[in-house]
Amino acid sequence: MENEDDLSVVLVTVDRGSDTFVMVRSDGKEARLPLDSPMFEPTSLLSRVSYPPTFEGLVAETLKGDSIVFELPRFDGGDQQANRFVVYLDQNKWRLVSDASRGQQSGTPEDRDAALRLVEWSAERKIILPASSGRYYETTKWSNAEGRYRLGLSILQLSRGWQLRDPLQVWRDELGPMPLF
């Protein structure tokens, strides 16, 4: 049995099914608090979002049982990129990577091998495969709901929360409101 002073929160979860905020302590005890309003939009495919404080990420689970890990920002001044190369993929390449990771036979055998290597390197945190709003926009136009879900899931899982932003918006954010001379 842990001393009361040694207890810590080991998991924080927002659960859609029960509309609760759950905190789990290191001794296994839980505190469940009802949410005043739903945290998930009705059209959202997320079922729960969890944050284990000892883990440098956030875990989202879908209604279909898939998990997505998002890297969280570091505030210790460390190298967030961790010396990884950033590899940008166009929509057609994301689709090839998604298909290859699911064993589907699209592209050439060489394309599938290369796609699987990208999946492996992403999982091993050797590279960053950032998502972009352009890819999301293109994917939402698909009429095949299952294909749209699978591609979107692949992009989210492999990007690990990394994303490209509009350079003009980045500049606006960095410069802020500038006084006119």
Question: What residue ranges do the domains of the chain occupy?
Answer: 1-73, 80-181
**pLDDT at residue 92, as a whole number:** 86
**pLDDT at residue 179, as a whole number:** 63
**pLDDT at residue 1, as a whole number:** 56
**pLDDT at residue 173, as a whole number:** 77
**pLDDT at residue 113, as a whole number:** 95
Convert the chain into a string of H (helix), E (strand) and C (coil): CCCHHHCCEEEEEEECCCCEEEEEECCCCEEEEECCCCCCCCCCCEEEEEECCCCCEEEEEECCCCEEEEECCCCCCCCCCCCCEECCCCHHHHHHHHHHHCCCCCCCHHHHHHHHHHHHHHHCCCEECCEEHHHHHHHHCCCCHHHHHHHHHHHHHHHCCCEECCHHHHHHHHHCCCCCC
How does pLDDT run across 86-112, given as a tens digit for each residue? 999 988 899 999 999 998 888 889 999
Low-confidence stretches of the chain (pLDDT < 50) are none
**pLDDT at residue 2, as a whole number:** 60
